[in-house]
């Protein structure tokens, strides 16, 4: 079978699951409601490959919008494995990237967006300074600008149609603050990330020809994690798919909506799935979790969904660990007693298959300190990580480091994959075959000259920045923020914090196989592990004290997401006298079910 038709072999694996097969066979607007571990990414990727081959005639293509860069990366890798070539026919990326690269950058002038031709994406420092100036003009007072910025950004995401009365009537001060902040950005010749979908939505709403042009280029729009993408994306979908003629294939799960604090609205997916002109399909088999964990997850959610484990799945186990003492005491118990016991039950279990999840990054500090004292390596994906793990640039550099630290001998990762990922990352510059050839030569020369795991990480990153990253980013307006992350990390290494790291240490982060995963519950979404430890599951921490009803529902969904990350074991650690109401309810219901 040629590479072009590899998806047909993958599709045969979907036949045994009636819901997955129905989604694969769908021909109109389709919403796939996919619970945890239900094979939704495999179904989505196979469906994308089929639609591209059978339903769209070249040079037209399709666009797939994802929640974050990690989701985009996984879908791209799956499409690679199905033989889908990376060409201009396929867009895979976040709603911000889609808005910027497919609408705002190419059409800003003709769509009348009022942006200068050479506008750039504002760095975090520029955004912070612009907001401070706006705050001082609109709402000066004893509070800090930072305390208003979160509220202002959420307001922007919630009220996307500024022509409606509620834009000003709901909170006139926030409306004025947002408008003044955006004016400050424009004075700098910049936009920020929240601007991107808002400007794209405005351009589409005011220009019928633009909607026609976009449908001509991408007659099919796929959306992953629909419940997390907010009001602006939903408005785009309504306009492009139900008025302009794009075909929609959307995937999501209302029960995994955990980003309400930044504007996610699960009811948007629910309403979409209830439309008469949409075929709605629910995936009901959990292929990830043991049967006992599936049962526990529905108890954790507080609502029956009818999910079941796959045939032959192991039972899985839920452990409760009420512990007296402080948070630091419980962290020492986790590292010194619980982790060895887990490894004793599972011979050969790698630390990379164990995750410790918690509500806030500060809780992870206790576990990180206890692990460091015990000589256990960790990798963090929370606000206190060495750098944001969602940065595609940093993840690419991690993989380049892996190649330099022995990957060049084993072929893991392959140089071809590093080149492909780099070409996607810098696609505005590496736009044709000649550009790819030049980029490959530059990358090979630099990595080949730095094959030394003991080399200074600071020097290696500084060289990569000077030789490859900086020259590329200077011509890619979408990557300024990511390079700022890199530059800040290089500066930290130079200052001696977090210590004199070697290139091999950095490559170990990239591999992650022998490091204990530390993550907030939010950052763990979309991931899976053999064993999950939910740390500090106390009342007042999850949920927080005196939550509003919407906050309580979202906290329960967050608890549910944490439990469903595990294949084999779930461990809940909490104060002996202060278990979360979710933990107490789960223990009682599991005991009652036998």
- Report CA-CA distances (Å) from 90 to 29, 80, 86, 97, 241: 19, 12, 7, 13, 18
> In DSSP terms, which residues pair with 517 in a beta bridge?
355, 379
Axis crossing angle, helix 433-448 with helix 415-425, rounded to the nearest 10: 120
Contact 485, 394 (CB under 8 A): yes
- With beta carbons less than 8 A apart as the criterion, state whether 200 and 20 touch: no
- Rounded to whole angstroms, the Cα distance separating 232 from 158 reads 8
Q: Tell whether 36 is in a known binding site.
A: yes
Dihedral, 179, 181, 187, 193 alpha carbons, nearest 10: -100
Say whether 37 counts as a known binding-site residue: yes
Q: Is the CB of residue 283 less than 8 Å from the CB of residue 19?
A: yes
Rounded Cα gap, residues 278 and 97, in angstroms? 26
- Cα separation, 43 vs 56, in Å, equals 18
User: Does the annotation list 592 as a binding residue?
Assistant: no
Tokens at residue 498, please?
Answer: 């977090």
User: Which residue in this structure is represented by tokens 């200068």?
Assistant: 116
User: Would you mind telling me the total number of residues written for the chain in this entry?
Assistant: 594
At 17, phi and psi to the nearest 5? -110, 110
- The torsion angles phi and psi of 412, rounded to 5 degrees, stand at -125, 105
Alpha-carbon torsion, ordered 555, 557, 562, 563, to 10 deg: 120
Strand partners, 321: 573
Determine whether the annotation assigns residue 88 to a binding site.
no
566 is in an annotated binding site: no
Q: How far apart are CA 218 and CA 490, in angstroms?
A: 40
| Phi, psi angle pair for 439, to nearest 5° | -65, -40
Separation of alpha carbons 585 and 543, rounded Å:
13
10 is in an annotated binding site: no
β-bridge mates for residue 354, sequence order: 531
Judging by DSSP bridges, how do beta strands 279-283 and 247-252 pair with one another?
unpaired
Query: What is the rounded distance in angstroms from the CA atom of residue 139 to the CA atom of residue 248?
Result: 42
Residue 422 is labelled as binding a ligand: no
Structure tokens that stand for 594 in this block:
């036998």
Q: Is 245 annotated as a binding residue?
A: no
Residue ranges for the binding site?
A: 34-41
Residue ranges for the binding site for ATP?
A: 34-41
């Amino acid at each position: 079978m040629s590479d072009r038709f590899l998806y047909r072999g993958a599709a045969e694996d979907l036949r045994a699951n009636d819901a997955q097969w129905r989604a694969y066979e769908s021909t109109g607007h389709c919403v796939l409601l996919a619970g945890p571990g239900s094979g939704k990414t495999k179904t989505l990727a196979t469906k994308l490959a089929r639609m591209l081959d059978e339903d769209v005639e070249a040079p037209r293509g399709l666009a797939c919008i994802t929640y974050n860069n990690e989701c985009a990366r996984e879908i791209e890798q799956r499409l690679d494995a199905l033989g889908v070539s990376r060409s201009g026919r396929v867009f895979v990326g976040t709603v911000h990237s889609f808005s910027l690269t497919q609408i705002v950058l190419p059409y800003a002038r003709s769509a009348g967006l009022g942006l200068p031709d050479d506008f750039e994406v504002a760095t975090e420092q520029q955004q912070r300074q612009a907001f401070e100036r706006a705050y001082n003009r609109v709402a000066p007072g004893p509070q800090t600008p930072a305390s208003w910025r979160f509220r202002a950004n959420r307001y922007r995401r919630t009220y996307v149609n500024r022509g409606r009365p509620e834009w000003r009537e709901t909170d006139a001060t926030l409306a004025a603050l947002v408008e003044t902040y955006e004016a400050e950005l424009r004075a700098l010749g910049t936009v920020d990330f929240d601007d991107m979908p808002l400007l794209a939505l405005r351009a589409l709403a005011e220009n019928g020809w633009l909607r026609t042009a976009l449908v001509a280029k991408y007659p099919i729009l796929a959306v992953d994690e629909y419940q997390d993408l907010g009001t602006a994306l939903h408005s785009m979908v309504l306009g492009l798919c139900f008025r302009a003629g794009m075909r929609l294939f959307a995937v999501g799960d209302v029960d995994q909506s955990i980003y309400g604090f930044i504007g996610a609205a699960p009811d948007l997916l629910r309403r979409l799935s209830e439309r008469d002109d949409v075929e709605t399909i629910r995936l009901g088999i959990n292929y990830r979790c043991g049967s006992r964990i599936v049962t526990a997850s529905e108890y954790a959610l507080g609502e029956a969904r009818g999910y079941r484990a796959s045939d032959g799945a192991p039972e899985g186990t839920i452990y409760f660990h009420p512990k007296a003492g402080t948070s630091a005491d419980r962290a020492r118990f986790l590292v010194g007693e619980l982790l060895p016991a887990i490894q004793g039950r599972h011979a050969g279990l790698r630390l990379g298959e164990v995750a410790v999840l918690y509500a806030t990054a500060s809780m992870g500090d206790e576990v990180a300190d206890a692990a460091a004292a015990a000589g256990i390596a960790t990798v963090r994906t929370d606000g206190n990580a060495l750098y944001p793990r969602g940065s595609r640039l940093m993840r690419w550099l991690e993989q380049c480091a892996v190649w330099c630290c022995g990957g060049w001998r084993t072929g893991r990762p392959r140089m071809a994959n590093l080149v492909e990922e780099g070409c996607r990352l810098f696609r505005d510059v590496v736009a044709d075959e000649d550009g790819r050839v030049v980029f490959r030569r530059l990358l090979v020369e630099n990595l080949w000259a730095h094959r030394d795991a003991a080399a200074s990480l600071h020097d290696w990153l500084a060289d990569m920045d000077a030789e490859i990253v900086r020259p590329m980013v200077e011509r890619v307006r979408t990557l300024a923020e990511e390079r700022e992350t890199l530059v800040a990390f290089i500066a930290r290494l130079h200052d001696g914090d977090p210590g004199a790291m070697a290139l091999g240490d950095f490559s170990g982060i990239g591999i992650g196989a022998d490091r204990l995963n530390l993550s907030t519950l939010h950052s763990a979404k979309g991931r899976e592990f053999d064993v999950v430890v939910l740390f500090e599951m106390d009342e007042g921490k999850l949920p927080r004290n005196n939550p509003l009803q919407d906050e309580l529902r979202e906290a329960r969904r967050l608890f549910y997401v944490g439990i469903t990350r595990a294949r084999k074991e779930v461990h809940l650690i909490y104060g002996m006298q202060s278990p979360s109401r979710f933990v107490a309810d789960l223990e009682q219901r599991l005991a009652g079910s036998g």
